[in-house]
Structure 1
């Protein structure tokens, strides 16, 4: 008579070594079990003359009806109904109400039937279906009782009472057992899914180390397909390397050199990500970054972010150089940078089983050439880059150069600094000599740090004055 509490796939296998078995009770089995218990109750009532013997046809109906419902819900157009289970349960509630009417409202058998129906409605459809099914069953019970009348005595013989309670209890216990098994299996599945989710997250974070965060994010959110695909976009391209690194590599042990290089890349990468740059690759001591893909804020903002990143890298290099000097590295390492702006081809290059997300084009070659021409501590930019950032950043004309792939000579400019950081009100100051180095960015200093810095500067000034005397 009743549907199974929850029908799910028989097996959810997330780990082939530990399959999660979920034993559902199919609708057909649940309904067959319920109608069998009702048939037993009705047969006992007929046997003890609680109801007329002419109700053998109703007994046959209890046995045949589950098979009829199974045929209607699986072999006819009704199978296309999304709520076929609930509709069939409403038919079951109607049938139960008619049965209670034929039982003449005899107390124990009628109560057993009602409890069976209410339990099934609650298990299958929750409170809403339970209320609907109960109201429908009560209505049909009242109508059938009004038409058929009630039994002469509402008291039930002992054997009929025992069988009714036992039949209803067996149905409820078996259904509850299957529900418990399903709940336990679903909890195991939930735990296994959670474990796999945590493993997937951990693995994705490990894999993300091999991709720029923007690219990794677009792949794992489904915004970008992993396939050989490219497109034309206007990007700001940045190249940098360390002047003096070759000489340093001859002086230092490989382990110490590796540690220094990794520290440099880590610091520069944080600056690049701060400004939204897509880190393309590390080659030797060189870094390649571009702005404008996978996300872009417009050519002007991309160019400004790229140049701003370069200026901060140059400032940050001074701090790192002071730290390296304190560690015994005397070679004066300097960063040099080149930036160009223009249309490039960006996307996945390579083979189906091994791809590289990168960019190609003459603007990439120009940025690389500008980087190789730059002096230590210098940032060279192309004319198009200059035209987009000149209102915010002071630049100096450096003439023209000839670059392969460009028909005409290319005007280039040197980045001086942010216009806001120039003049008497500038926030950034630096001073460096043998035995002395100072780097000051007043915008980043808190009030508490200001007091400590002033005290240190006063002590240093007193020391220098004493040595003069």
Structure 2
């Protein structure tokens, strides 16, 4: 007299969710119990109750005709919901269950509310309402069932006795128990299926996350983030933007590559790229590519803090890279690499074309334009340890970074000579109150950034400096 609440395809309220779950479950391994089977079981149980009641004389003989209706209705309902326009109706299962509640309530009223058979039919209805539609469906089902019950009771009147014979009562309870047990079993199976699907979906999600993190190693974090959050489509498209472009390479790397074994050279280069990449990401730079010993980074896309801040972040990154190179050089020297490797850098700011270049099946997120060529030219003109910037960059950073005029150069693509400047240091780090100090000689190297030193580290550094000073004084006295 009602539909089974265990069709997995309708277990999720959202179409997208149901599609995901269906894709994870083997329908052969966990067979669903569709509405048709559940309704057939319920109405067959009701037909058995009617047959027993008529033959025991508690139901009128004309109710034998209801047996045919009880055995026919599930097939009619199946045709209506699967092969007619009703199949497109939203929440069709809940609507058909309301019809079942109307029929069930009318039947209970027609038999005069005989206790055990009436309770059995009402239990099957309420059980289905709660599982299929929850409390809301239970309320609606109860209202419609009660209404049809009173209508039937008004037409046929109450039974002479509300007590049913023993056989009819036992049969009613067995039929109801069988229906509840069967539907509960399939509900349990479907619940297990949903849990398995949830577990599989979670595993696939974790695998996808792990894979995406692996793929992110081949993309700049900003680009990867914009793609995986849906902010940027993966298609061939470009746009014009004003960016700060950075180029660097290692002076003396070619000579070093002739002296070192390929394995050791690869380890050194990876160590260098790793350290410089950390600095670039710290300042929000988009790492474009590594070519040989060169690094290309740009600021202003896919995220930007404004032209002035982008340029300042780019030059700040270059200054820290220059400082970081001193630390790396000391480490390489301790490993037996005596060639004095120096980094040289060039920075320009201007409008470039940025976006995805290439083919539909192989893209590269990069930038092109004359400003890119200018940054590369500045890098090639820089002396070891020098940072050269264009006039556009200088005009954006000069309030916070000290620069020295280096004259003009002629660059292909520019109609006039281009003024260039050498970056000296942060203005805050110049003068007697500067936070950064460095000295490097044969057998001695010192790199000090007082702003980054904690109180605990400060004492250890002072102790080490005092020990070093005492040692030098002792050797001086001996001489």
- TM-score with structure 1 length normalisation? 0.95
The yes-or-no answer on 1:237 pairing with 2:245 is: yes
Partner of 1:114: 122
Structure 1 contact 382–412 (Cα < 8 Å) conserved: yes
Cα deviation code 1:339-360 (max 9, x no counterpart)? 0111111112222222211111
User: How many angstroms does 1:154 deviate by?
Assistant: 2.1
The yes-or-no answer on 1:345 pairing with 2:350 is: no
User: How many angstroms does 1:72 deviate by?
Assistant: 4.1
Partner of 1:94: 102
Partner of 2:15: none
Change (3 A) 1:19 1:370: farther
Partner of 1:7: 7
Unaligned runs of 5+ in 1: none
Cα deviation code 1:316-372 (max 9, x no counterpart)? 111111111122211111110000111111112222222211111111110000000
Cα deviation code 1:375-409 (max 9, x no counterpart)? 11110011111111111111111100001111111
Change (3 A) 1:12 1:89: closer
The yes-or-no answer on 1:373 pairing with 2:384 is: no
Aligned-partner Cα distance in 1 for 2:27–2:281: 43
User: How many angstroms does 1:134 deviate by?
Assistant: 2.5
> What does 1:106-255 align with in structure 2 at a 5 Å threshold?
106-255=114-263
Change (3 A) 1:112 1:14: closer
Aligned-partner Cα distance in 2 for 1:183–1:20: 16
Partner of 1:59: 67
The yes-or-no answer on 1:270 pairing with 2:278 is: yes
User: How many angstroms does 1:173 deviate by?
Assistant: 1.9
Aligned-partner Cα distance in 2 for 1:348–1:8: 43
Unaligned runs of 5+ in 2: 10-18
Aligned-partner Cα distance in 2 for 1:393–1:82: 66
The yes-or-no answer on 1:47 pairing with 2:74 is: no
Aligned-partner Cα distance in 1 for 2:62–2:243: 89
Aligned-partner Cα distance in 2 for 1:246–1:192: 52
User: How many angstroms does 1:138 deviate by?
Assistant: 3.2
Structure 1 contact 20–185 (Cα < 8 Å) conserved: no
The yes-or-no answer on 1:465 pairing with 2:445 is: no
User: How many angstroms does 1:452 deviate by?
Assistant: 0.7
Aligned-partner Cα distance in 1 for 2:148–2:236: 66
- TM-score with structure 2 length normalisation? 0.93
Aligned-partner Cα distance in 1 for 2:159–2:117: 12
Structure 1 contact 227–352 (Cα < 8 Å) conserved: yes
Aligned-partner Cα distance in 1 for 2:7–2:315: 60
Aligned-partner Cα distance in 1 for 2:351–2:27: 52
Aligned-partner Cα distance in 1 for 2:29–2:208: 23
User: What is the DSSP-based 3-state SS (H/G/I as helix, E as strand, rest coil) of the residue aligned with 1:281?
Assistant: strand
Structure 2 contact 407–421 (Cα < 8 Å) conserved: yes
Aligned-partner Cα distance in 2 for 1:71–1:41: 25
Partner of 2:424: 416
Aligned-partner Cα distance in 1 for 2:425–2:72: 90
Structure 2 contact 346–389 (Cα < 8 Å) conserved: yes
User: How many angstroms does 1:57 deviate by?
Assistant: 3.2
Change (3 A) 1:12 1:143: closer
Structure 1 contact 394–416 (Cα < 8 Å) conserved: yes
Moved more, 218-227 or 452-461: 218-227
Partner of 2:407: 399
Aligned-partner Cα distance in 2 for 1:437–1:45: 104
Moved more, 224-233 or 79-88: 79-88
**Residues matched between the structures, number:** 467
Structure 2 contact 6–186 (Cα < 8 Å) conserved: no
Cα deviation code 1:208-233 (max 9, x no counterpart)? 11111111111122222222222211
User: How many angstroms does 1:237 deviate by?
Assistant: 0.6
